[in-house]
Amino acid sequence: MRLRALLDTEALGLRLLGGEDELDRSVRGVMTTDLRDPSRYLSGGELVLTGLAWRRDSSDSEPFVRILATAGVAGLAAGEAELGAVPDDLVEACLRHRLPLFAVDETVAFATITEHVVRQVSGERAGDLAAVVDRHRRLMTSGPAGGGPEVVLDLLTSDLDLRAWVLSPTGRQIAGAGEPLPPHVGAELAGRHLAAARTGRPGPHRAEVDGAAYSLFPIRNTGRGTVPAPSRDVRESVLSDWLLAVAADAGDWPAPRLDLLQGVTQLIAVERDRRDAARGVRRRLAQEVLELVQAGAAPAEIAARLRVATPVLLPGVGTAPHWQVVVARVEWAADGEDLSGGRAAQSLLEEILVDPAVTGPDSADRIAVAHSGEEAIALVPLTSQTAQGTDGTGTPEDAAAPEHQDSALHADTLLDSVRVPLSAGLAEDGRLTLGVSAAVHSAEGLRGALEEARHARRVAAARPGPVCAAGHHELASHVLLLPFVPDDVRRAFTARLLDPLRDYDRRHRAELIETLEAFLDCDGSWTRCAARLHLHVNTLRYRVGRIEQLTGRDLSRLEDKLDFFLALRMS
- What are the pLDDT digits (tens) for 140-188? 454 444 456 787 788 788 777 889 999 998 888 988 887 889 989 999 9
Rounded distance, CA 370 to CA 527, Å? 37
Q: Other C-beta atoms within 10 Å of 296: how many?
A: 11
Residue 245: pLDDT over 50: yes
Q: Tell which wins on pLDDT, 483 or 374.
A: 374
CATH number, domain at 319? 3.30.70
Whole-number average pLDDT of the chain? 80
pLDDT attached to residue 388: 36
Among residues 468, 484, 500, the one where a domain terminates is 484
Q: With pLDDT > 70 as the criterion, what percentage of the chain qualifies?
A: 81
The domain tally of the chain equals 4
pLDDT surpassing 50 at residue 392: no
Residue 336 confidence (pLDDT): 45
What is the pLDDT, as a whole number, of residue 482? 63
**Under DSSP, is residue 468 helix (H, G, I), strand (E, B) or coil?**
strand
End residue of a domain, out of 442, 459, 484? 484
Q: Are residues 22 and 151 in the same domain?
A: no
- DSSP secondary structure string for all residues of 234-264: HHHHHHH-EEEEESS-GGG--HHHHHHHHHH
Does the pLDDT of residue 457 top 70, yes or no? yes
Q: Could you say which of 456, 484, 512 is where a domain stops?
A: 484
Q: What long-range pairs does 280-287 form, CB within 8 A, spacing at least 24?
A: 281/312, 282/312, 282/313, 282/367, 282/368, 282/369, 283/368, 283/369, 283/370, 283/371, 285/309, 285/312, 285/313, 285/368, 285/379, 286/368, 286/369, 286/370, 286/377, 286/378, 286/379, 287/370, 287/371, 287/372
Give yes or no: residues 247 and 163 share one domain. yes
The listed range with the strongest mean pLDDT (296-300, 304-308, 354-358, 533-537) is 533-537
Report the pLDDT averaged over residues 396-405. 44
> Are both 246 and 295 inside the same structural domain?
no
Identify whether residues 78 and 117 lie together within a single domain.
no
User: Domain limits at 370?
Assistant: 280-484
Confidence of residue 74 (pLDDT cuts 50, 70, 90): very high
pLDDT in tens, 463-517: 888 898 988 877 765 555 665 577 778 788 889 999 999 999 999 989 999 999 9
* 381, pLDDT greater than 80: yes
- What average pLDDT does this structure show over 71-100? 91
Buried b (16+ CB within 10 A) or exposed e, 192-202: bbbbbbbeeee
Identify which has the larger pLDDT, 227 or 532.
532
Same domain, 47 and 157: no
Which residues neighbour 22 within 8 Å (Cβ) at sequence distance 6 or greater? 3, 75, 98, 99, 100
The pLDDT of residue 448 is above 90: no
Percent of the chain with pLDDT over 90: 26
- Cα–Cα distance measured from residue 94 to residue 101, given in angstroms and rounded to the nearest whole number: 7
Same domain, 388 and 507: no
Asked if 562 and 493 sit in the same domain, the reply is yes
Task: Give the Cα separation of 474 and 462 in Å (integer).
Answer: 12
pTM of the full structure: 0.58
Give the model's pLDDT for residue 102: 94
Q: Which residue has the higher pLDDT, 296 or 361?
A: 296
Is the domain of 247 the same as that of 290? no
pLDDT for 9 equals 85
pLDDT above 90 for 231: no
Instruction: Calculate mean pLDDT across residues 381-395.
Output: 46
Q: Which of 506, 481, 482 has the alpha carbon at shortest distance from 494?
A: 482
Q: Residue 98 maps to which CATH number?
A: 3.40.1390.20
Q: Is pLDDT above 50 for 403?
A: no
Same domain membership, residue 135 and residue 256? yes
Q: What integer pLDDT is reported at residue 363 of this predicted model?
A: 55
Confidence (pLDDT) at 389: 35
Which residues lie below 8 Å from residue 526, measured CB to CB, with a gap of 6+? 537, 540, 541
Asked if 172 and 315 sit in the same domain, the reply is no
pLDDT for the residue numbered 166 = 93
Cα torsion through 35, 41, 45, 46, rounded to 10: -50
pLDDT, position 391:
35
More confident residue, 239 or 38: 38
Q: Is the model more confident about 229 or about 548? A: 548
Q: Please report the pLDDT score of residue 142 as a whole number.
A: 43
pLDDT digits (tens, 9 = 90+) for 20-43: 989 988 888 899 998 999 988 888
Q: Are residues 143 and 233 in the same domain?
A: yes
Q: Are residues 405 and 296 located together in one domain of the fold?
A: yes
